[in-house]
C-alpha cells in the first residue's frame, strides 16, 4: 500500500511538472515577472545597435493611435511580447494588450534616453496628476484625484506655468533614480540628453508641445484626451488603473528601450532570440510609418522583412501601421476619410511576410493595397 501511495505521488508530481512545462510553452511563462537592473542594462547594451540620425521629436503626432485599440483588445493574444518604435504612444498600446514584456526599438539613442526618463517618472510619481507635474515641471493643481477624468487632469494644467525649482528637483530625481538607485551607467552625453528631454517639456506645456512637424499636429493634451472611434478614451493616462499598470511594469523593468535599426542585423534578431529562448511570441509589432523610409533606402525593406521572419510568431501576431492622410493622397494609398490627420491599421504579420515573399510588396504603397 505504501509503495502504491509513493507511485501515485510520483505520478502526480510528474503530471504537475509536465503540465507546468506545457503551460510555459503555451503562455510564455518563461518570461520573467521581474527583470533585474543588471539584466535590464545588459539587454539595452547587448541588444542595441549604433544610433542613427533622424529628426528629433519628444512626442508622437499620431492622432489615430487609439482607433485600433478596440480591435486589438478583441483579438486573441498569447500573453507574449510587444514590440514598438517611438515614444509615448507605445504606453497606450502596451496598456491595451498587457503583454508579458515590451521592447521599444528606435534608431535614435535619444529615444531610448527619453524612455528611461519616462521610466523614472512612472516609478516616483504615485499617480497621474503627479506624473504630469513632474513631466512638465509644473506645480500640481489642487482638486485632482484618482477619479479625475483625463480631460479634467489636463484642463487643470492648462494655465499652470513652469516652475524652475520643480525642474531642478525633477532633473536630480530622475538622474538619482537611474544612476544611483538602478545603477545604470549613463555617460555624460546620456545625462545631457536627460536634461534636454526634461527641458523640452518644461519650455513647452501640455497645451503647446507638439510632435515633429507643423502646428497642425496635435498637442500633448490633445493626444492624451483623444478617443477611439467609439468616443472612448483609451490613452495611457485615461485612468488611474491604466497608469498603475504601467507604473508597475516600469518598476519591474519590463519595458526595454533599445537603439536599433529595423533593417539592422542586431536589435530585432536579439529580441527574437530572447523571446524564442523563453517560449514567447510577438503579439503586436507597432511600426508607425517606418516602412516608408525602409522602402526608400536600397534593400532596407528586404532586410526588415528578413528580420521579422526570424521572430517567434503566433497566428494572431499583428502589425500596427500609421500613415498621414496627406502622404496617403500623394502616394495613392487607399484609406477612408475620417476625423484625424493620421490613420492607423492592423495587419496580420504572417500574411504580410507571405505577401512580401510572393513579391506583392514592391513599394510602400503596395502594403496598404495588399495587406489590409
In DSSP terms, which residues pair with 82 in a beta bridge? 102, 284
CA distance 229 to 269: 35
Residue 60 predicted with pLDDT over 60: yes
- Give residue 90's Cα distance to chain centre: 3
pLDDT in tens, 99-115: 999 999 999 999 999 99
pLDDT for res 26: 45
Q: Find all residues with CB under 8 Å of 110, minimum gap 6, and list them.
A: 56, 193, 196, 197
Residue 46 predicted with pLDDT over 90: yes
CA distance 139 to 165: 10
pLDDT in tens, 120-132: 999 999 999 999 9
Q: Find all residues with CB under 8 Å of 233, minimum gap 6, and list them.
A: 66, 149, 150, 151, 225, 226, 227
pLDDT in tens, 237-274: 999 999 999 999 999 999 999 999 999 999 999 999 99
pTM more than 0.75 = yes
Task: Give residue 338's pLDDT band: very low, low, confident or very high (50, 70, 90).
Answer: low
State whether residue 31 is helix, strand or coil: coil
Q: Where does residue 198 rank: exposed (0-12), middle (13-18), buried (19+ CB within 10 A)? A: buried
Amino acid at each position: 500500500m505504501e509503495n502504491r501511495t509513493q507511485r501515485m505521488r510520483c505520478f502526480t508530481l510528474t503530471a504537475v511538472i509536465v503540465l507546468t512545462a506545457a503551460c510555459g510553452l503555451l503562455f510564455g511563462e518563461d518570461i520573467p515577472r521581474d527583470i533585474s537592473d543588471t539584466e535590464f542594462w545588459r539587454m539595452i547594451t547587448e541588444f542595441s545597435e549604433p544610433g542613427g540620425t533622424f529628426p528629433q521629436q519628444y512626442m508622437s503626432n499620431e492622432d489615430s493611435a487609439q482607433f485600433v485599440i478596440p480591435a486589438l483588445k478583441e483579438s486573441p493574444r498569447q500573453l507574449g511580447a510587444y514590440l514598438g518604435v517611438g515614444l509615448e504612444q507605445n504606453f497606450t498600446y502596451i496598456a491595451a494588450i498587457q503583454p508579458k514584456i515590451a521592447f521599444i526599438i528606435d534608431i535614435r539613442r535619444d529615444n531610448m534616453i527619453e524612455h528611461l526618463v519616462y521610466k523614472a517618472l512612472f516609478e516616483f510619481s504615485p499617480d497621474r496628476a503627479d506624473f504630469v507635474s513632474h513631466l512638465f515641471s509644473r506645480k500640481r493643481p489642487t482638486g485632482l484625484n484618482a477619479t479625475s477624468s483625463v480631460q479634467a487632469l489636463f484642463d487643470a494644467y492648462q494655465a499652470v506655468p513652469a516652475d524652475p525649482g520643480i525642474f531642478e528637483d525633477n532633473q536630480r530625481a530622475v538622474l538619482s533614480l537611474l544612476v544611483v538607485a538602478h545603477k545604470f551607467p549613463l555617460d555624460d552625453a546620456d545625462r545631457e540628453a536627460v536634461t534636454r528631454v526634461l527641458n523640452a517639456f518644461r519650455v513647452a506645456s501640455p497645451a503647446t508641445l507638439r510632435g515633429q512637424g507643423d502646428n497642425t499636429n496635435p498637442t500633448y493634451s490633445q493626444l492624451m484626451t483623444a478617443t477611439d472611434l467609439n468616443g472612448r478614451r483609451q490613452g495611457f493616462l485615461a485612468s488611474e488603473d491604466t497608469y498603475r499598470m504601467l507604473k508597475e511594469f516600469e518598476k519591474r523593468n519590463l519595458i526595454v528601450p533599445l537603439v536599433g535599426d529595423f533593417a539592422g542585423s542586431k536589435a530585432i534578431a536579439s529580441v527574437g532570440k530572447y523571446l524564442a529562448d523563453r517560449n514567447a511570441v510577438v503579439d503586436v509589432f507597432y511600426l508607425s510609418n517606418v516602412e516608408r523610409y525602409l522602402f526608400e533606402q536600397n534593400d532596407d525593406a528586404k532586410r526588415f522583412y528578413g528580420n521579422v521572419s526570424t521572430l517567434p510568431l503566433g497566428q494572431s501576431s499583428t502589425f500596427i501601421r500609421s500613415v498621414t492622410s496627406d502622404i496617403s493622397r500623394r502616394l495613392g494609398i487607399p484609406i477612408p476619410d475620417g476625423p484625424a490627420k493620421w490613420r492607423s491599421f492592423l495587419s496580420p504579420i504572417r500574411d504580410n511576410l507571405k505577401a512580401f515573399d510572393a513579391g506583392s510588396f514592391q513599394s510602400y504603397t503596395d502594403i496598404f493595397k495588399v495587406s489590409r
